[in-house]
Every structure is written in C-alpha cells, then in structure tokens.
Amino acid sequence: MDRPDPLTTRMAVPMPPESREWEALAPFWIERCRAGESNRAGMLDAWMLRVLGDVAGLHVIDLGCGEGRFCRMLAQRSAHVLGVDLCRPLLEAARQASRSDRERYLLGDMQQLDEVPGAIFDLAVSYVSLVDVPDLDRAVAEAARVLKPGGRFVVSNLAPMATATNARLAEADGARIALRVDQYFDEATRVMHFGRHHLTNYHRTLTTYLNTFIGAGFLLRGFFEPYPTEEGVERYPKLANELRAPSFVLFDLEKAG
C-alpha cells in the first residue's frame, strides 16, 4: 500500500509559550542531540527500538519529533515516518538533516492534528514529549484518533517521580546523593533549567498517565523503567545515576480494535 500523504507542510495553530521556550533553546538542543545526548544515545534509544521491534514498512507518526533524530533512525529501519513538532527551528533542522524520502515533517501541534486524517498510522511515538504538553487528554486522544485499530502508541517520558521536583541532592563535589521527591500529587508546572534557558514541564502522577491512556481506548501491553547498560555507562559516565533510580518510564500501548 502506498504511504498516506494527505498532509500539507504546515498546520495553522497558535504558538504557545512552551514552543517559544523551545525556539530559544533550539540551537543548544540541536547541537546536544547531534553530539550524542546521553540519556537518548546511551540508554533510551536502545529501549525504544527494542520495544518497537521491526518497523519496516510501517506508517509511523512521531509526535513532538524535535530535530528529527528518531525519525531518521526509524526511516533507516525502513519505516515511513511523519514527524510533527511546533518548534519551527527544530523542524527546519529535521528537514535539512533528512536522509530519506521515507521522512516527512509537519509544523503542527500534537494536541490538535486537524489536518491529519484518522486511522492512517500503524504506530505513534512520543519520545519524551508528553512532559511538554499542557493538555494531556487532547494529545493522547489525538494519538488514538490517527492510529488504525490495533495500532500501537509507544511513549517514553520523564518519570513522574523525577518530574515531581526536578531536584537532586548532591555532595559539595557534585556527586549525586539522591533524588528529592516532593509535591508529588501537585500536578502543576515545573521548570527545567538548561544553562541560561529554561523549559516548562508538566508534572503528572503515574495514575494520571495510566488513566488517560485507558480513557482514550488504549490497552497496556508493557511498562518499563529504562536503565543503561554497562556500555552506556562507559560511554556516558553520568548515566551511572540511572542505575540508582529511574528518571524515565516507557509505555507500550495498543489501540483497542
């Protein structure tokens, strides 16, 4: 079957404050990703690809694709991928780095995929993007809408225990002691700092995530708390902290048929 291509290159959606934060951060983030962002390159990529399995020939939508690195990885594995993101500089970087005609990119909002027809994708991916979304219900409902019955939604995200404060207790020399968890049931915004830049994250409990997925018609196939391999820690020593407590979670979901 020919891949679905009913889409324009842009969707007319308002620019929320979170997207402006990402626009300011974009040059730093592009450089960081392409140099090998430790959490992704040293840990999450392997978990995501293992859970996804064989994607050859599948029609995939990457929701919050950023500068397109995971789209490129999926296209290299013979998937047909549509990457969607609201941050124009990141999306332009993704288009410029595209290596295959199996990649397409759309400037749009994963909470409001108005120009994307329903039930056309085999697989939806959210690679640490739901934490940036103000309206979780709408984003998850849109993922369900664009998937075929039986299609999968694979979500990696910051762990709710990690987003509760984004604060780590450390020795004077910077060595990590523990993750401070507080205000866990206060589902409010949290601010993550990257040098002189910052991002607004949305903290939600594990209960909220699971019930939102279930309410949108998803079945839970698997749940994982990623940790690095010895090779990952050797390449990125700071990942040793991920062997103490997980900073990320991964959901393998299926749209009920």
**Tell me: the pLDDT tens digits for 237-247?**
989 989 988 99
| Residue 66 domain flag | yes
**Tell me: the pLDDT tens digits for 31-87?**
999 999 999 999 999 999 999 999 999 999 999 999 999 999 999 999 999 999 999
Predicted pLDDT at 17:
58
Domain limits for position 127: 17-158+205-255
Residue 238 tokens read as: 């700071």
Q: Which residues pair with 106 in a beta bridge?
A: 84
d(C-alpha 125, C-alpha 116), whole Å:
15
d(C-alpha 139, C-alpha 133), whole Å:
7
| Residue 169 domain flag | no
**Phi first, then psi: what are they for 79, rounded to 5°?**
-85, 155
| Residue 10 domain flag | no
Number of domains within the chain: 1
CATH of the domain at 64: 3.40.50.150
| Residue 225 domain flag | yes
User: What is the average pLDDT value for the chain, to the nearest integer?
Assistant: 90
| Residue 172 domain flag | no
| Residue 28 domain flag | yes
| Model pTM score | 0.90
| Residue 83 domain flag | yes
| Residue 176 domain flag | no
Q: Predicted confidence band at 223 (pLDDT cuts at 50, 70, 90)?
A: very high
**Tell me: the pLDDT tens digits for 165-210?**
756 666 556 666 677 788 899 999 998 887 788 899 999 999 999 9
d(C-alpha 126, C-alpha 60), whole Å:
11
**Tell me: the pLDDT tens digits for 55-69?**
999 999 999 999 999
